[in-house]
Structure formats: C-alpha cells, structure tokens
Chains A and B, each alone.
Chain A
Amino acid sequence: MAKIKGAIVVNIERCKGCNLCVVACPSKVLSLNNEANSKGYNYSYMEDPDSCVGCSACAYVCPDACITVYKVRV
C-alpha cells in the first residue's frame, strides 16, 4: 500500500500560538514551540514530523492562515 507522507510549513511570524492546530491534528504531529516569535507568541511546529499525513486539518482550522501543507505518495 502506498504510504502518504506530509509536511507543513508554519509562517512563524504570523502564528499567534492559539493551539487550535495542535488540537485539530489527528496524528498528534504539532506542538507549540518553547521558542517565541518576535511578538512573544509560542509558535506551532512539527514536533513529530514522521507522523504527518498531510491531511491539512491544521491549515483548515488555522485562523491566521499561517500553515502551508505539502503531501506526497511514497
């Protein structure tokens, strides 16, 4: 069976660390970073990138449209 692998890119400066993508991710890939962006928000990042399947759930619920999603079949 073809395996699907995904990856996301978070626009760090646009992210406000609202945590909604972390809650929405069905594969528990995302987490809030301990580092903060220039506005002081703990931005979202892929803590477990290997589990990402590129479903775009995080991007759909992101209120600030800061997530870009990529998906590939391997």
Chain B
Amino acid sequence: MTTTEIINPENLVYIKPKVLNDNPMHYCPGCSHGVVHKLIAEVIEEMDYQEKTIGIAPVGCAVFAYKYLDIDWQQAAHGRAPALATATKRLLPDRLVFTYQGDGDLAAIGTAETLHACNRGENIAIIFINNGIYGMTGGQMAPTTLVGMKSSTSPNGRTVPLNGNPLDITKLLAQLDGTCYVTRQSVHNVANVRKAKKAIRKAFENSMLGKGTSIVEVVSTCNSGWKLSPADSNIWMVENMFPAYPLGDLKDL
C-alpha cells in the first residue's frame, strides 16, 4: 500500500484540533508553548467548551495566545491574571476560566495575586509554564532559575549568596487550603504529553465542579534563552530541571 493510499480521511488518527486556528505561531522553533496550546485546544474540544471558555493571557511570550486559540480571551497586566480570572469567574460562573502564565509572570511579578487567588480557592485553573528564565525579554534570571544556571543577568550562574534560592512556588501553593489540585508535568515526550493533557483536563473539570483552584505546572524549555537546540534543551531539562522540580501530583483532593 502506497503512502498516497494511506492518506485518506477514513485512516485519520491525529489532526490539529480545530480550536487551535491556522495562524502560524510566533514562538521559536521547538518551544513548549506550542505543545501546551495544542493540549488546551484538544481538552476544550473534547469537553465541548469552545463557546464557554475564557482564557486569561499573561505578559510574556504567551501574550499572543489569543491569536492561536479560538476562544474568548482577556489580557491581564503583568502577573495579574489570577486577579482578572477571579473577577471573570465570579461574574460569569458558568464559564470555564483559566489563566496561562509563565514563571516570571506567576512566580515573580504576580506572586501576591497568585497566592491570594489560590488561598481564596477561586474556581479557576492556572496553567503555569516554568522554563526557569524570563524568555520573552531576553533570558533574564527569574525566581525559578536554578542554582548555577546561566542567564543573561547571571552570566556566571545563579549563586545563593548573591541571588537567593530558587522559588518552588508550586510546592508553596500546594500548602494552601484553597487549592484542590496541584501537579507538575512536562511535554518533552509522548508519555508526558499524554499525562499533561490528562492533568489539564482534570484542572478544567475541577474548575467547573467548583472544587477550588487547580494548578498545572508545566516544566518547559526555552531553547532560545538557554542557547541550546530544541532537542538538547529537552535533555538539559531532564538532567537539570527535573531534580529541582520533580514531576508528579503534589496535591489531589
């Protein structure tokens, strides 16, 4: 059987979700954002929530998420996505409200908003992309940057006496009573992509069931910021990021 015979609608097993539109993404080649966008689109499509979903875009590379996912969007000031999501969910409780934030957005500038929204137990889902640096602005050090990790503002590597310890904010959020589901995932291979999709689905379902705040951290790569190829970034992430940010559920009520 030739390739052209196999390429037939009845043999289709995987296609781009319709919620993800045809605009070419501006992300660098190999960026984890694309995979997470795709997973969110698949989950929304499977839950049939396209008309009832409101995403809150962050400041950072994913600020343009509204161009790629065909749902309603709001765009928050830097770090304030959980505050905006709180208002959106309280005014429109029948909608699925999620925020999509990077580590600079969630763990540095928006720490207060994040902690308090989680502590209040707002019925929102937070997708947290942790790549250890400020990717959009040129790879500066973020609170999540690993000890010894080089960034454009720590060219000799982060040191504890000068820069302090890395902030494991997901572990912190798991301690709060308002959170119902806190998990850490990655999207570097097929098995983890599937797990991450399940986690996102669970977070979205929890949000609609009114169980509290769900946080899905996705340990990600920023190959441009890390100055590595996409494939090497995945290897670097497995070797260096995972020991500091181990994958798995931190809380599941």
Chain B residues with Cβ under 8 A from A74's Cβ? 1
Q: Of the listed stretches B30-38, B49-57, B86-94, B119-127, name the one at the interface; the rest are far from the partner chain.
A: B30-38
Asked if residues B1 and A63 are in contact (CB atoms below 8 Å), the reply is no
The residue on B at minimum CB distance from A69 is B14
Interface of A is mostly: mixed
Asked if residues A54 and B13 are in contact (CB atoms below 8 Å), the reply is yes
A62 to chain B, nearest CB (A): 8
The residue on A at minimum CB distance from B16 is A65
Interface residue tally on A, bucketed by range: 35 or more
Asked if residues B11 and A14 are in contact (CB atoms below 8 Å), the reply is no
Q: Kindly supply a per-residue 1/0 record for chain B positions 148-168, scoring 1 wherever the CB is within 8 Å of any chain A CB and 0 otherwise.
A: 000000000000000000000
Asked if residues A19 and B13 are in contact (CB atoms below 8 Å), the reply is no
Known: A5-B1, A7-B3, A7-B7. A63 touches B31 (CB 8 A): yes
Chain B residues with Cβ under 8 A from A68's Cβ? 12, 14-16
Q: Of the listed stretches B187-195, B202-210, B236-244, name the one at the interface; the rest are far from the partner chain.
A: B187-195
Chain A residues with Cβ under 8 A from B189's Cβ? 24, 61
Residues B26-79 near A (CB distance < 8 A): 27-35, 38
B15 to chain A, nearest CB (A): 5
Chain B residues with Cβ under 8 A from A64's Cβ? 24-25, 27, 34
Chain B residues with Cβ under 8 A from A14's Cβ? 24
The residue on A at minimum CB distance from B32 is A63
**Contact pick for B24, options A5, A13, A57, CB 8 Å:** A13
| A72 CA / B30 CA spacing, docked (Å) | 29
Residues B181-225 near A (CB distance < 8 A): 187-190, 193-194
A19 to chain B, nearest CB (A): 6
| A5 CA / B25 CA spacing, docked (Å) | 31
The residue on B at minimum CB distance from A64 is B34
Q: Kindly supply a per-residue 1/0 record for chain A positions 15-59, scoring 1 wherever the CB is within 8 Å of any chain B CB and 0 otherwise.
A: 011111001100000000000000001000010010000101101
The residue on A at minimum CB distance from B20 is A65
Chain A residues with Cβ under 8 A from B110's Cβ? none
Tell me, yes or no, whether B253 is within 8 Å of chain A by CB.
no
Asked if residues B25 and A61 are in contact (CB atoms below 8 Å), the reply is no
Chain A residues with Cβ under 8 A from B7's Cβ? 7, 9, 70
Known: A5-B6, A61-B193, A65-B20. A41 touches B29 (CB 8 A): yes
The residue on B at minimum CB distance from A39 is B24
| A5 CA / B15 CA spacing, docked (Å) | 17
Question: Contact residues of B with A, CB < 8 Å?
Answer: 1, 3, 5-8, 11-17, 20, 24-25, 27-35, 38, 187-190, 193-194, 229-231, 234
Pairs of residues from A and B, 8 with the lowest C-beta to C-beta distance, nearest first: A63-B34, A18-B30, A16-B29, A18-B29, A69-B14, A7-B6, A65-B16, A70-B11
Interface CB pairs A-B, < 8 A, 10? A6-B13, A9-B7, A13-B24, A19-B231, A54-B6, A60-B190, A64-B25, A69-B12, A70-B8, A71-B6
In the complex, besides A18-B29, A61-B187, 5 extra interface pairs with C-beta distance below 8 angstroms are: A9-B7, A54-B6, A54-B13, A65-B16, A70-B7
